[in-house]
Amino acid sequence: MQSQNEILKINSFLSVALPIIVGVVRTILKSFDWQVSEEGKGFDLAFSIKSGEKQIKFYLQNLLMEIATIDRDEVSLRFDENLRDFDFFLAKTARLTESKLNILFHLLKEEDVGTAIENISQSAKQYERIRIWRIDPKSPDKGQTEAGGSVS
């Protein structure tokens, strides 16, 4: 059962930290030669990134929950009390943001999604919880296929 107190702490933290985290990610993404637009707001914000023929949507929900909680996949989420220390907040935010953006860079750098996922898997074990969905408008069925393992 979810603790209302923990949810309140997570929501309070995100109401203050979300604009900071979004601003950092926005600044990093716009520093590259990519077309970047935003879809949604707040917790549901996603960045749509176009580089050449590739288009990727970068959703912030998992990043935000990883920063705010001890383990975003726990059944009963718990606020990471260490975030009350600003240095800890900065270090955790930088580390997790870098790990998510590193995945994005791999996907944009490689022509083949399978090769990109292989490179991601080889570079770090922390990427075992990543979910990448591939939508290929040029494929005959124009369907959506999961491009790799557990990627989120």
% the chain with pLDDT above 70: 80
144, 133 contact by CB (below 8 A):
yes
pLDDT band at 144 (very low <50, low <70, confident <90, very high): very low
Q: Which of 42-56, 62-76, 102-116 has the lowest mean pLDDT?
A: 102-116
Task: Share the mean pLDDT of the chain.
Answer: 82
Tell me the average pLDDT across 101-116. 81
Q: How does 82-104 read in b/e, with b if 16+ C-beta sit within 10 Å?
A: ebeeeeebeebbeebbeebbebb
Among the listed residues 18, 133, 127, 98, the one whose alpha carbon sits nearest the alpha carbon of residue 65: 18
Q: Give the model's pLDDT for residue 146.
A: 38
pLDDT band at 106 (very low <50, low <70, confident <90, very high): confident
pLDDT band at 152 (very low <50, low <70, confident <90, very high): very low
Segments making up each domain of the chain, as ranges = 4-148
Residue 148, pLDDT above cutoff 80: no
What are the backbone dihedrals phi and psi of residue 112, each rounded to the nearest 5 degrees, phi first? -100, 125
- pLDDT: which is higher, 109 or 17: 17
